[in-house]
Amino acid sequence: MSKKKVIIISILINFFLLEKSICEPIQLARDVEVSFSAEYMSRYVYRGIDQNKDRSTASVSANLSLPAGIYMGTWIAEANYGGSSQEVDLYFGINQSYKDFNFDIYYLEARYPGKKLVNVGEYNFKLVYQANESPFRIGYYFALEDTNETVGSDYKEYSIGYDFKNFNLLATYGDWDVINKTKTITASKSFQHFDIKISHIITDNSSNVANERFNTVIISKSF
């Protein structure tokens, strides 16, 4: 393991062990706050494709929340894409709830330092329905590509979840244009100091690339 990765993992462990009382978002003004998160992924799998050469991945993010559900932020992670060793996502959007529905509309640009030609952008729309006090929820997610890729990358995803007493279960089916189709089952649980997600991912690739299966573990903490 490289010295750089050991340092990153050490920093993440310290974040995970921070007391909850000092991990609250920073209130800047009424309805304005800044929050941060740290995350460790056993494998970085995005829409059924490995993004970091089978290696574990660390990431950090910062998010600014504004009135009326408006937000913006950035997410930075190790990656191996297009010759770049890092991914930097920039995003802004609005999140609102109406009765039993939650809407999340945002724009995201993924940048790869030193490799400008592989940067990508997309418009995203998420809708989740969960009746009041019901453990069931269903969702729909659509991403519209905003770059001139030779292969289109519009993405559709359908999800159904159930909130058990001690953990949550989520099943999704994603259709990434002509790239692949992905089925994922994720169990998640929140502990006092961190959150954990365990996923089994089955990817049906549309190209000549062999179909793949992944088992991933994600440990994260917001502060």
**Long-range contacts of residues 1-5, Cβ cutoff 8 Å, at least 24 apart:** 5/56, 5/58
3-state secondary structure of 14: helix
Lowest pLDDT segment from 19-33, 84-98, 151-165, 193-207: 19-33
Query: Per-residue pLDDT tens for 189-210?
Result: 998 888 999 999 999 987 666 6
**Residue matched to tokens 């790869």:** 112
Per-residue confidence (pLDDT) for residue 18, from 0 to 100 = 58
Query: Per-residue pLDDT tens for 35-74?
Result: 999 999 999 999 999 999 889 999 999 999 999 999 999 9
**Residue matched to tokens 């729309």:** 125
Question: What torsion do the CA atoms of 30, 31, 32, 35 make, to the nearest 10 degrees?
Answer: 120
Local structure of residue 150 (DSSP, 8 states): S
> What is the CATH code for 3-222?
2.40.160.40
Please, are residues 138 and 126 in contact by the beta-carbon 8 Å criterion?
Answer: no
**Tokens standing for residue 148:** 């001139």
Enumerate helices (H) and strands (E) in the chain, giving the number of each: 1, 15
**Residue matched to tokens 């030193």:** 114
Integer Cα distance of 175 and 182 in angstroms: 7
Per-residue confidence (pLDDT) for residue 106, from 0 to 100 = 98
Query: Per-residue pLDDT tens for 97-125?
Result: 999 999 999 999 999 998 888 889 999 99
Close Cβ partners of 15 (under 8 Å, ≥ 6 residues apart): 38, 221, 223
Write out the H or E segment, with its range, that includes residue 16: helix 3-16
Integer Cα distance of 199 and 16 in angstroms: 20
| Mean per-residue pLDDT of the chain | 88
Integer Cα distance of 69 and 33 in angstroms: 11
Per-residue confidence (pLDDT) for residue 33, from 0 to 100 = 95
User: Closest Cα to residue 187, out of 204, 212, 162?
Assistant: 162
Domain range summary for the chain, segments of one domain joined by + = 3-222
Averaged pLDDT, 2-29: 62
pTM: 0.86
Question: Environment class of residue 195 by beta-carbon count within 10 Å: exposed (0-12), middle (13-18) or buried (19+)?
Answer: middle
